[in-house]
Amino acid sequence: MNHIPHHHPGPDLLLAYAAGTLAEAPSLVVATHLALCPRCRAEVAGMEAIGGALLSDSSAATPVSTGLLADVLARLDGPPLAEAPRRRQVPPGHNPVLPEPLRSYIGGDVDTIRWRRTIPGLHECELSCSGGAVRMMRIRSGMGMPQHTHHGDEFTLVLQGGFTDGSGHYLRGDFASTDTSVDHRPIADDDGDCICLAFTDAPLRLTGRFMRWLNPFIRA
Amino acid sequence: MQADDRAEVDRLNDLLLRVARQRDRQAFVTLFHHFAPRLKSFLLRAGMEAGAAEETIQDVMVTVWQRAETFDPRLAAAGTWIFAIARNRRIDRLRRDRRPTFDPNDPALVPDEADGSMDTMLAEEQTAALHRAIRSLPPEQADLLKMAYFEDKAHSAIAEERRLPLGTVKSRLRLALARLRKAMAGDDPAGETL
Ligand SMILES: [Zn+2]
Ligand SMILES: [Zn+2]
Protein backbone atom coordinates (compact mmCIF):
# COMPACT_ATOMS: atom_id res chain seq x y z
CA MET A 1 0.00 0.00 0.00
CA ASN A 2 1.31 3.40 -0.92
CA HIS A 3 1.70 6.07 1.72
CA ILE A 4 0.91 9.55 0.38
CA PRO A 5 3.48 11.90 1.93
CA HIS A 6 2.39 14.64 4.34
CA HIS A 7 5.71 16.47 4.60
CA HIS A 8 7.02 18.12 1.44
CA PRO A 9 9.99 20.20 0.25
CA GLY A 10 9.26 23.94 0.44
CA PRO A 11 8.30 25.84 -2.74
CA ASP A 12 11.77 27.43 -2.96
CA LEU A 13 13.41 24.05 -3.16
CA LEU A 14 10.96 22.72 -5.77
CA LEU A 15 11.45 25.94 -7.76
CA ALA A 16 15.25 25.59 -7.72
CA TYR A 17 14.86 21.98 -8.88
CA ALA A 18 12.41 22.93 -11.67
CA ALA A 19 14.57 25.88 -12.79
CA GLY A 20 17.67 23.67 -12.88
CA THR A 21 19.69 25.68 -10.34
CA LEU A 22 19.77 23.06 -7.57
CA ALA A 23 23.01 21.04 -7.30
CA GLU A 24 23.06 17.31 -7.93
CA ALA A 25 23.15 16.23 -4.26
CA PRO A 26 19.99 18.01 -3.00
CA SER A 27 18.37 17.30 -6.40
CA LEU A 28 18.77 13.57 -5.72
CA VAL A 29 16.74 13.87 -2.51
CA VAL A 30 14.09 16.06 -4.18
CA ALA A 31 13.81 13.78 -7.25
CA THR A 32 13.48 10.69 -5.04
CA HIS A 33 10.70 12.44 -3.09
CA LEU A 34 8.99 13.24 -6.43
CA ALA A 35 8.89 9.51 -7.25
CA LEU A 36 6.89 9.01 -4.04
CA CYS A 37 4.77 12.19 -4.11
CA PRO A 38 2.17 12.91 -6.80
CA ARG A 39 1.44 16.32 -5.24
CA CYS A 40 4.99 17.63 -5.67
CA ARG A 41 5.23 16.12 -9.17
CA ALA A 42 2.24 18.24 -10.16
CA GLU A 43 3.83 21.23 -8.44
CA VAL A 44 7.10 20.80 -10.38
CA ALA A 45 5.18 20.31 -13.66
CA GLY A 46 3.46 23.66 -13.00
CA MET A 47 6.83 25.28 -12.32
CA GLU A 48 8.21 23.89 -15.56
CA ALA A 49 5.20 25.39 -17.34
CA ILE A 50 6.14 28.76 -15.80
CA GLY A 51 9.68 28.30 -17.16
CA GLY A 52 8.22 27.51 -20.58
CA ALA A 53 6.00 30.60 -20.50
CA LEU A 54 8.93 32.82 -19.47
CA LEU A 55 11.01 31.36 -22.29
CA SER A 56 8.27 31.88 -24.89
CA ASP A 57 7.81 35.49 -23.74
CA SER A 58 8.52 37.80 -26.67
CA SER A 59 10.28 40.51 -24.65
CA ALA A 60 13.42 38.43 -24.08
CA ALA A 61 14.95 37.81 -27.51
CA THR A 62 18.59 38.27 -28.63
CA PRO A 63 19.46 38.04 -32.36
CA VAL A 64 21.46 34.92 -33.30
CA SER A 65 24.25 34.65 -35.91
CA THR A 66 23.07 34.42 -39.52
CA GLY A 67 24.72 31.02 -40.05
CA LEU A 68 23.17 29.34 -37.00
CA LEU A 69 20.05 28.03 -38.72
CA ALA A 70 22.13 26.48 -41.54
CA ASP A 71 24.41 24.85 -38.95
CA VAL A 72 21.42 23.35 -37.16
CA LEU A 73 19.75 22.13 -40.38
CA ALA A 74 23.02 20.45 -41.41
CA ARG A 75 23.02 18.48 -38.16
CA LEU A 76 19.36 17.37 -38.14
CA ASP A 77 19.90 13.99 -39.71
CA GLY A 78 23.26 13.38 -38.06
CA PRO A 79 23.90 10.97 -35.21
CA PRO A 80 21.90 11.43 -31.99
CA LEU A 81 23.48 13.88 -29.57
CA ALA A 82 25.75 12.61 -26.85
CA GLU A 83 24.35 13.34 -23.41
CA ALA A 84 26.27 14.04 -20.24
CA PRO A 85 27.12 10.69 -18.66
CA ARG A 86 24.15 9.31 -16.74
CA ARG A 87 24.04 6.45 -14.33
CA ARG A 88 22.92 3.19 -15.81
CA GLN A 89 19.46 2.33 -14.53
CA VAL A 90 19.26 -0.77 -12.42
CA PRO A 91 16.45 -3.14 -13.40
CA PRO A 92 14.03 -3.24 -10.46
CA GLY A 93 13.52 -6.42 -8.53
CA HIS A 94 10.10 -7.42 -7.23
CA ASN A 95 8.51 -4.64 -5.14
CA PRO A 96 11.54 -2.35 -4.94
CA VAL A 97 11.90 -0.27 -1.75
CA LEU A 98 14.11 2.35 -3.38
CA PRO A 99 12.66 4.28 -6.31
CA GLU A 100 14.59 5.80 -9.21
CA PRO A 101 16.73 7.87 -9.36
CA LEU A 102 18.08 6.65 -6.00
CA ARG A 103 18.29 2.97 -7.03
CA SER A 104 20.75 3.85 -9.82
CA TYR A 105 22.92 5.88 -7.45
CA ILE A 106 23.14 2.90 -5.10
CA GLY A 107 23.45 0.33 -7.85
CA GLY A 108 20.57 -1.76 -6.53
CA ASP A 109 17.83 -1.93 -3.92
CA VAL A 110 18.20 -1.72 -0.10
CA ASP A 111 19.71 -5.21 0.09
CA THR A 112 22.77 -4.06 -1.90
CA ILE A 113 23.66 -1.10 0.36
CA ARG A 114 27.08 -1.52 1.97
CA TRP A 115 26.36 -0.24 5.45
CA ARG A 116 29.03 1.01 7.81
CA ARG A 117 28.33 1.35 11.54
CA THR A 118 28.80 4.93 12.73
CA ILE A 119 27.59 4.76 16.33
CA PRO A 120 25.62 2.05 18.10
CA GLY A 121 22.19 1.86 16.48
CA LEU A 122 23.17 3.82 13.36
CA HIS A 123 24.53 2.55 10.04
CA GLU A 124 25.42 4.84 7.16
CA CYS A 125 26.51 4.63 3.53
CA GLU A 126 27.89 7.65 1.67
CA LEU A 127 26.76 8.21 -1.94
CA SER A 128 28.90 9.99 -4.48
CA CYS A 129 27.28 13.18 -5.70
CA SER A 130 28.44 16.72 -6.46
CA GLY A 131 27.22 19.72 -4.47
CA GLY A 132 27.07 18.32 -0.94
CA ALA A 133 27.14 15.16 1.11
CA VAL A 134 24.40 12.56 0.58
CA ARG A 135 24.17 9.37 2.57
CA MET A 136 21.82 6.55 3.38
CA MET A 137 21.06 6.10 7.08
CA ARG A 138 19.63 3.11 8.89
CA ILE A 139 18.49 3.81 12.42
CA ARG A 140 17.72 0.82 14.59
CA SER A 141 14.08 0.43 15.56
CA GLY A 142 13.24 2.59 18.59
CA MET A 143 16.62 4.32 18.74
CA GLY A 144 17.07 8.02 19.35
CA MET A 145 19.70 10.03 17.55
CA PRO A 146 21.78 12.42 19.62
CA GLN A 147 20.26 15.84 20.08
CA HIS A 148 21.85 18.07 17.45
CA THR A 149 21.74 21.35 15.58
CA HIS A 150 22.84 22.07 12.01
CA HIS A 151 25.52 24.18 10.38
CA GLY A 152 23.53 24.40 7.17
CA ASP A 153 20.57 22.80 5.41
CA GLU A 154 19.69 19.19 6.06
CA PHE A 155 17.10 17.33 3.97
CA THR A 156 15.96 13.88 5.04
CA LEU A 157 13.68 11.57 3.08
CA VAL A 158 12.19 8.48 4.73
CA LEU A 159 12.24 5.34 2.57
CA GLN A 160 11.32 2.68 5.11
CA GLY A 161 9.94 2.77 8.66
CA GLY A 162 9.56 6.18 10.26
CA PHE A 163 10.85 8.64 12.82
CA THR A 164 9.54 11.37 15.07
CA ASP A 165 11.08 14.62 16.17
CA GLY A 166 9.73 17.86 17.64
CA SER A 167 8.33 18.88 14.25
CA GLY A 168 6.29 15.76 13.50
CA HIS A 169 6.09 12.12 12.50
CA TYR A 170 7.76 11.12 9.23
CA LEU A 171 6.90 8.02 7.20
CA ARG A 172 7.84 6.66 3.74
CA GLY A 173 8.06 9.51 1.23
CA ASP A 174 8.01 12.25 3.86
CA PHE A 175 10.59 14.99 3.41
CA ALA A 176 12.06 16.76 6.46
CA SER A 177 13.99 20.02 6.04
CA THR A 178 16.01 21.47 8.87
CA ASP A 179 18.44 24.37 8.99
CA THR A 180 20.60 26.18 11.51
CA SER A 181 17.53 27.26 13.48
CA VAL A 182 16.48 23.68 14.25
CA ASP A 183 17.68 21.71 17.21
CA HIS A 184 16.21 18.23 17.24
CA ARG A 185 16.49 14.64 18.34
CA PRO A 186 14.92 12.23 15.84
CA ILE A 187 13.70 8.92 17.28
CA ALA A 188 13.05 5.93 15.00
CA ASP A 189 9.63 4.26 15.24
CA ASP A 190 9.72 1.07 17.26
CA ASP A 191 8.14 -1.16 14.59
CA GLY A 192 11.27 -1.66 12.46
CA ASP A 193 14.49 -0.01 11.32
CA CYS A 194 14.14 3.40 9.74
CA ILE A 195 15.96 3.89 6.43
CA CYS A 196 16.47 7.44 5.19
CA LEU A 197 18.29 9.37 2.49
CA ALA A 198 19.92 12.49 3.93
CA PHE A 199 21.61 15.50 2.38
CA THR A 200 23.74 18.04 4.23
CA ASP A 201 25.50 21.02 2.67
CA ALA A 202 28.73 22.68 3.78
CA PRO A 203 31.66 20.22 3.54
CA LEU A 204 32.91 21.51 6.92
CA ARG A 205 30.06 19.62 8.49
CA LEU A 206 31.91 16.33 8.04
CA THR A 207 34.13 16.91 11.06
CA GLY A 208 31.29 18.65 12.82
CA ARG A 209 29.10 15.65 12.34
CA PHE A 210 31.79 13.28 13.50
CA MET A 211 32.32 15.36 16.63
CA ARG A 212 28.61 15.37 17.26
CA TRP A 213 28.39 11.63 17.05
CA LEU A 214 30.90 11.55 19.89
CA ASN A 215 28.28 13.18 22.09
CA PRO A 216 26.73 10.67 24.43
CA PHE A 217 23.76 9.33 22.56
CA ILE A 218 20.55 8.55 24.29
CA ARG A 219 18.55 5.42 23.93
CA ALA A 220 14.88 6.13 23.42
CA MET B 1 -5.72 39.32 -25.38
CA GLN B 2 -7.04 35.96 -24.20
CA ALA B 3 -7.64 34.72 -27.76
CA ASP B 4 -4.15 35.89 -28.81
CA ASP B 5 -2.44 33.95 -26.05
CA ARG B 6 -4.41 30.83 -26.83
CA ALA B 7 -3.74 31.18 -30.57
CA GLU B 8 0.00 31.53 -29.94
CA VAL B 9 0.09 28.45 -27.69
CA ASP B 10 -1.82 26.46 -30.33
CA ARG B 11 0.44 27.72 -33.12
CA LEU B 12 3.64 26.58 -31.36
CA ASN B 13 2.12 23.23 -30.37
CA ASP B 14 0.98 22.63 -33.96
CA LEU B 15 4.43 23.43 -35.34
CA LEU B 16 6.05 20.96 -32.98
CA LEU B 17 3.44 18.30 -33.79
CA ARG B 18 4.13 18.78 -37.52
CA VAL B 19 7.81 18.20 -36.81
CA ALA B 20 6.93 15.08 -34.79
CA ARG B 21 4.44 13.54 -37.21
CA GLN B 22 5.52 14.70 -40.65
CA ARG B 23 9.20 15.53 -40.09
CA ASP B 24 8.18 18.95 -41.46
CA ARG B 25 11.36 21.04 -41.97
CA GLN B 26 9.44 24.23 -42.72
CA ALA B 27 7.65 23.93 -39.36
CA PHE B 28 11.02 23.31 -37.72
CA VAL B 29 12.49 26.47 -39.30
CA THR B 30 9.55 28.50 -37.97
CA LEU B 31 10.12 27.05 -34.49
CA PHE B 32 13.79 27.90 -34.79
CA HIS B 33 13.01 31.54 -35.66
CA HIS B 34 10.71 31.73 -32.65
CA PHE B 35 12.85 29.99 -30.04
CA ALA B 36 16.51 30.52 -31.01
CA PRO B 37 16.63 34.25 -30.04
CA ARG B 38 14.72 33.49 -26.82
CA LEU B 39 17.02 30.60 -25.99
CA LYS B 40 19.95 32.94 -26.57
CA SER B 41 18.63 35.44 -24.01
CA PHE B 42 17.97 32.55 -21.60
CA LEU B 43 21.54 31.20 -21.94
CA LEU B 44 23.28 34.58 -21.88
CA ARG B 45 21.52 35.51 -18.66
CA ALA B 46 22.77 32.25 -17.15
CA GLY B 47 26.30 33.57 -17.71
CA MET B 48 27.28 31.81 -20.96
CA GLU B 49 29.54 33.39 -23.58
CA ALA B 50 27.79 34.15 -26.90
CA GLY B 51 29.68 31.34 -28.67
CA ALA B 52 28.81 28.75 -26.04
CA ALA B 53 25.20 29.96 -26.03
CA GLU B 54 24.91 29.42 -29.80
CA GLU B 55 26.47 25.96 -29.57
CA THR B 56 23.97 25.12 -26.87
CA ILE B 57 21.10 26.46 -29.01
CA GLN B 58 22.27 24.12 -31.79
CA ASP B 59 22.20 21.18 -29.36
CA VAL B 60 18.75 22.16 -28.07
CA MET B 61 17.25 22.56 -31.55
CA VAL B 62 18.79 19.31 -32.83
CA THR B 63 17.34 17.58 -29.75
CA VAL B 64 13.94 19.15 -30.53
CA TRP B 65 14.10 17.60 -34.01
CA GLN B 66 15.32 14.21 -32.82
CA ARG B 67 12.95 13.83 -29.84
CA ALA B 68 9.87 15.55 -31.26
CA GLU B 69 7.83 12.31 -31.22
CA THR B 70 7.95 12.29 -27.41
CA PHE B 71 6.13 15.66 -27.29
CA ASP B 72 2.58 15.34 -25.92
CA PRO B 73 0.61 18.62 -25.89
CA ARG B 74 -1.76 17.19 -23.24
CA LEU B 75 1.14 17.05 -20.78
CA ALA B 76 3.06 20.23 -21.57
CA ALA B 77 3.03 23.08 -24.06
CA ALA B 78 5.74 23.29 -26.74
CA GLY B 79 7.44 26.12 -24.81
CA THR B 80 7.55 24.02 -21.64
CA TRP B 81 8.87 20.99 -23.48
CA ILE B 82 11.64 23.06 -25.08
CA PHE B 83 12.37 24.83 -21.78
CA ALA B 84 13.04 21.44 -20.13
CA ILE B 85 15.50 20.47 -22.91
CA ALA B 86 17.26 23.85 -22.67
CA ARG B 87 17.45 23.67 -18.87
CA ASN B 88 19.05 20.21 -18.99
CA ARG B 89 21.53 21.29 -21.68
CA ARG B 90 22.41 24.34 -19.62
CA ILE B 91 23.16 22.14 -16.59
CA ASP B 92 25.34 19.85 -18.76
CA ARG B 93 27.21 22.80 -20.19
CA LEU B 94 27.65 25.06 -17.16
CA ARG B 95 28.08 22.56 -14.37
CA ARG B 96 28.76 19.18 -15.98
CA ASP B 97 26.32 17.95 -13.35
CA ARG B 98 23.79 15.27 -13.73
CA ARG B 99 20.20 16.18 -13.05
CA PRO B 100 18.59 13.30 -11.15
CA THR B 101 15.02 12.67 -12.31
CA PHE B 102 12.35 10.17 -11.36
CA ASP B 103 11.31 7.51 -13.87
CA PRO B 104 7.56 7.65 -14.59
CA ASN B 105 7.58 3.90 -15.37
CA ASP B 106 9.37 2.85 -12.18
CA PRO B 107 7.38 0.18 -10.25
CA ALA B 108 8.32 1.99 -7.00
CA LEU B 109 6.74 5.26 -8.19
CA VAL B 110 3.59 6.26 -6.28
CA PRO B 111 1.10 6.92 -9.10
CA ASP B 112 -1.05 10.04 -9.45
CA GLU B 113 -4.40 9.87 -7.78
CA ALA B 114 -6.75 9.45 -10.71
CA ASP B 115 -9.76 11.19 -9.20
CA GLY B 116 -10.06 13.72 -12.03
CA SER B 117 -10.36 16.59 -9.55
CA MET B 118 -6.98 17.96 -10.55
CA ASP B 119 -7.50 20.00 -13.67
CA THR B 120 -10.61 20.65 -15.63
CA MET B 121 -8.94 23.18 -17.92
CA LEU B 122 -7.37 22.17 -21.21
CA ALA B 123 -3.58 22.31 -21.16
CA GLU B 124 -3.61 24.95 -23.92
CA GLU B 125 -5.99 27.15 -21.92
CA GLN B 126 -3.87 26.74 -18.80
CA THR B 127 -0.80 27.85 -20.69
CA ALA B 128 -2.59 30.87 -22.15
CA ALA B 129 -3.85 31.83 -18.67
CA LEU B 130 -0.30 31.46 -17.38
CA HIS B 131 1.05 33.88 -20.00
CA ARG B 132 -1.57 36.43 -18.98
CA ALA B 133 -0.88 35.99 -15.29
CA ILE B 134 2.88 36.43 -15.79
CA ARG B 135 2.27 39.76 -17.52
CA SER B 136 0.08 40.90 -14.62
CA LEU B 137 2.63 40.06 -11.90
CA PRO B 138 3.83 43.02 -9.84
CA PRO B 139 7.20 44.09 -11.36
CA GLU B 140 9.21 43.21 -8.24
CA GLN B 141 7.82 39.66 -8.32
CA ALA B 142 8.33 39.26 -12.08
CA ASP B 143 11.93 40.45 -11.77
CA LEU B 144 12.83 37.87 -9.12
CA LEU B 145 10.95 35.10 -10.91
CA LYS B 146 12.90 35.73 -14.12
CA MET B 147 16.16 35.73 -12.18
CA ALA B 148 15.22 32.45 -10.49
CA TYR B 149 14.63 30.77 -13.88
CA PHE B 150 17.11 32.50 -16.17
CA GLU B 151 20.17 33.08 -14.03
CA ASP B 152 22.05 30.08 -12.78
CA LYS B 153 21.96 31.40 -9.22
CA ALA B 154 20.83 30.24 -5.80
CA HIS B 155 18.12 32.33 -4.13
CA SER B 156 20.75 33.58 -1.67
CA ALA B 157 22.86 34.94 -4.56
CA ILE B 158 19.76 36.63 -6.02
CA ALA B 159 19.13 38.26 -2.64
CA GLU B 160 22.70 39.57 -2.56
CA GLU B 161 22.51 40.92 -6.09
CA ARG B 162 19.22 42.70 -5.46
CA ARG B 163 20.34 43.80 -1.98
CA LEU B 164 17.27 42.25 -0.42
CA PRO B 165 17.00 40.03 2.64
CA LEU B 166 16.78 36.34 1.65
CA GLY B 167 13.39 36.15 3.38
CA THR B 168 12.02 38.89 1.10
CA VAL B 169 13.25 37.08 -2.02
CA LYS B 170 11.67 33.84 -0.86
CA SER B 171 8.35 35.40 0.07
CA ARG B 172 8.09 37.32 -3.23
CA LEU B 173 8.83 34.14 -5.16
CA ARG B 174 6.22 32.27 -3.14
CA LEU B 175 3.64 34.99 -3.79
CA ALA B 176 4.41 34.92 -7.52
CA LEU B 177 4.18 31.12 -7.65
CA ALA B 178 0.90 31.08 -5.72
CA ARG B 179 -0.58 33.65 -8.09
CA LEU B 180 0.52 31.78 -11.22
CA ARG B 181 -0.70 28.50 -9.77
CA LYS B 182 -4.14 30.03 -9.23
CA ALA B 183 -4.17 31.23 -12.83
CA MET B 184 -3.33 27.74 -14.07
CA ALA B 185 -6.16 26.33 -11.97
CA GLY B 186 -8.58 28.58 -13.85
CA ASP B 187 -8.79 31.31 -11.23
CA ASP B 188 -7.63 34.29 -13.28
CA PRO B 189 -5.84 36.78 -11.06
CA ALA B 190 -5.58 39.49 -13.75
CA GLY B 191 -7.07 42.64 -12.26
CA GLU B 192 -6.80 41.30 -8.74
CA THR B 193 -4.62 43.28 -6.41
CA LEU B 194 -2.30 41.39 -4.14
ZN1 LIG C 1 5.67 16.18 -1.86
ZN1 LIG D 1 19.10 16.93 11.94
Nearest ligand to residue A11 Cα? 1
**Does residue A72 form part of some domain?**
no
> Could A68 and B44 be called an inter-chain contact, meaning their C-beta atoms sit closer than 8 Å?
no
Percentage of chain A lying above the pLDDT 70 cut: 87
Provide the 10 A C-beta neighbour count for residue A184.
17
Could you state, in order of their start, the residue ranges of all structural domains in chain B?
2-95, 136-184
**Does residue A34 form part of some domain?**
yes
Residue B136, chain A, CB below 8 Å: the answer is no
CA distance B162 to chain A (A): 17
Let me know: does A18 contact A8? Beta carbons within 8 Å: no
- Within 8 A by CB and 6+ apart from B136, the residues are B189, B190, B191
Kindly calculate the radius of gyration of chain A based on its CA atoms and give it in whole angstroms. 21
> Could B130 and A50 be called an inter-chain contact, meaning their C-beta atoms sit closer than 8 Å?
yes
> Could A68 and B57 be called an inter-chain contact, meaning their C-beta atoms sit closer than 8 Å?
yes
Residue with the larger pLDDT of the pair B170 and A118:
B170
Per-residue b/e over A165-182, b at no fewer than 16 CB within 10 Å?
A: beeeebbbbbbbbbeeee
**Does residue A85 form part of some domain?**
no
Residue with the larger pLDDT of the pair A130 and A59:
A130
Mean pLDDT, chain B, whole residue set = 90
H or E segment and range at residue A205:
helix A205-213
Kindly calculate the radius of gyration of chain B based on its CA atoms and give it in whole angstroms. 18
Count of structural domains within chain A: 1
Mean pLDDT of the region A130-157: 88
Q: Which of A12, A160, A195 to mutate to test the interface with B (most CBs of B within 10 A)?
A: A12
Query: Where would I find the beta strands (DSSP E) of chain A?
Result: 116-119, 122-127, 133-139, 154-160, 163-165, 168-170, 175-178, 187-188, 194-200
Mean pLDDT of the region B74-103: 90
pLDDT of residue A203: 39
- Within 8 A by CB and 6+ apart from B42, the residues are A55, A60, B86, B90, B150
Mean pLDDT, chain A, whole residue set = 86
Mean pLDDT of the region B50-63: 96
Give the Cα separation of B179 and A88 in Å (integer).
39
Q: Please report the ipTM that was assigned to this predicted complex.
A: 0.93
Cα–Cα nearest to B183, from B140, B144, B127: B127
H or E segment and range at residue B10:
helix B2-22
Instruction: Among A206-210, B107-111, B165-169, name the one with the lowest average pLDDT.
Output: A206-210
Let me know: does B2 contact B35? Beta carbons within 8 Å: no
Spell out which residues of chain A touch residue B149, defining contact as CB-CB under 8 Å: 19, 50-51, 54
Q: Which of B75, B97, B153 to mutate to test the interface with A (most CBs of A within 10 A)?
A: B97
- Cα A175 to ligand 1 centre (Å): 7
Task: Please say whether the dihedral angle defined by the alpha carbons of residues B179, A19, A80 and A64, taken in this order, is positive or negative.
Answer: positive
**Does residue A74 form part of some domain?**
no
**What are the backbone angles phi and psi of residue B71, rounded to the nearest 5°?**
-75, 130
- How sure is the predictor about B77, in pLDDT bands with cuts at 50, 70 and 90? very high
Spell out which residues of chain A touch residue B143, defining contact as CB-CB under 8 Å: none
CATH number for the domain that contains residue A206: 2.60.120.10
- Cα A6 to ligand 1 centre (Å): 7
Q: Is pLDDT above 90 for A158?
A: yes
- Among chain B residues, CA nearest to A2: B110
**Does residue A156 form part of some domain?**
yes
Chain B from 140 to 169: CB within 8 A of any A CB = 145-146, 148-150, 152-155
Its domain, for residue A208, covers 1-56+98-220
Percentage of chain B lying above the pLDDT 90 cut: 78
- How sure is the predictor about B193, in pLDDT bands with cuts at 50, 70 and 90? very low
Let me know: does B83 contact A55? Beta carbons within 8 Å: yes
Let me know: does A77 contact B66? Beta carbons within 8 Å: no
The domain made up of B2-95 has a fold known as Rna Polymerase Sigma Factor; Chain: A (1.10.1740)
- The model's pLDDT over A31-53, given as tens digits with 9 standing for 90+, comes to 999 999 999 999 999 999 999 99
**Does residue A62 form part of some domain?**
no
- How sure is the predictor about A83, in pLDDT bands with cuts at 50, 70 and 90? low
> Could A101 and B77 be called an inter-chain contact, meaning their C-beta atoms sit closer than 8 Å?
no
